[in-house]
Amino acid sequence: MKKTTQKIALPADKNAPASPAAERKSAPLLILISAPSGGGKTTLCNLLLEARPEMTRAITCTTRDPRAGEREGVDYYFLEAENFLKRLQAGNFLEHATVYGHSYGLLRSELTSKLRDGHDVLLNVDVQGAATIKERALEDPELRRALVSVFLTPPSLKILEERLKKRGADAEAVMRKRLAVARQEIAQWKNFDYLLISGSKEEDLRQMLAIVEAEKMRTTRAHPGQF
């Protein structure tokens, strides 16, 4: 399937202050959820978006062609390789990677535009991507203030192995490689704000919602003159 020629406009970098409606609320959150492969972060993110419809998902740019059912500006921003490279050289991406010959990148403006509109933004990223985003956010006061990082992990590698086997998506050799990588990824839990030990889907969502509510009540997120 070829890329469509009609594009939804990508978010522009804006220097304007947030709208008055956004200023009346607590400052929006940039919620980053990461987990080892098979850790359940995609399921948790989908449940969180259902539970908090006012929350929005950060959309990634990619140079690959759309798959059946994928929509521009909903699933991805589909860019030509030349356009992607120009944005990369201009420093527009907060984080980027090449996977199976295709480029993927997260625009800084994708986050800032939604945060300035008063929306909580959800990021579903792997551990390597999370490290890059957190490092870049330290250089940006707006992102640093909004960022909340959560590491989701099963109680043990044995349980993670059982989940991967039950999923049945990988050959034995691939699964062993995933587990070896997961062991290294789990060791990074201490670099996140929160550690969420995965249980049932319902319990994971309950704990995640508690994190969101707690962060919403931080005094550092209240707007000056709010009262």
Strand order in 76-78's β-sheet? Answer: 76-78, 60-62, 102-107, 93-99
Note down the domain range covering 166. Answer: 26-55+120-216
Against a cut of 0.75, is the pTM above it? Answer: yes
Q: Does any domain span residue 103? A: yes
Residue where a domain stops, chosen among 101, 119, 137: 119
How many domains does the chain contain in total? 2
Residues 129 and 204 in one domain: yes
Model pLDDT, residue 12? 56
Residues 39 and 128 in one domain: yes
Q: In the numeric block, which tokens belong to residue 155?
A: 């109680």
For 20-67, the pLDDT digits (tens) are 434 446 899 999 999 987 788 999 999 999 999 999 999 999 999 999
**Domain CATH code at residue 102:** 3.30.63.10
Q: Does any domain span residue 13? A: no
Q: In the numeric block, which tokens belong to residue 21?
A: 């409606």
Q: Does any domain span residue 18? A: no
Residues 202 and 136 in one domain: yes
Residues 190 and 78 in one domain: no
Residue of 65, 64, 66, 62 lying closest to 87 (CA atoms): 62
Residue of 172, 217, 216 lying closest to 52 (CA atoms): 216
Residues 143 and 47 in one domain: yes
Q: Does any domain span residue 20? A: no
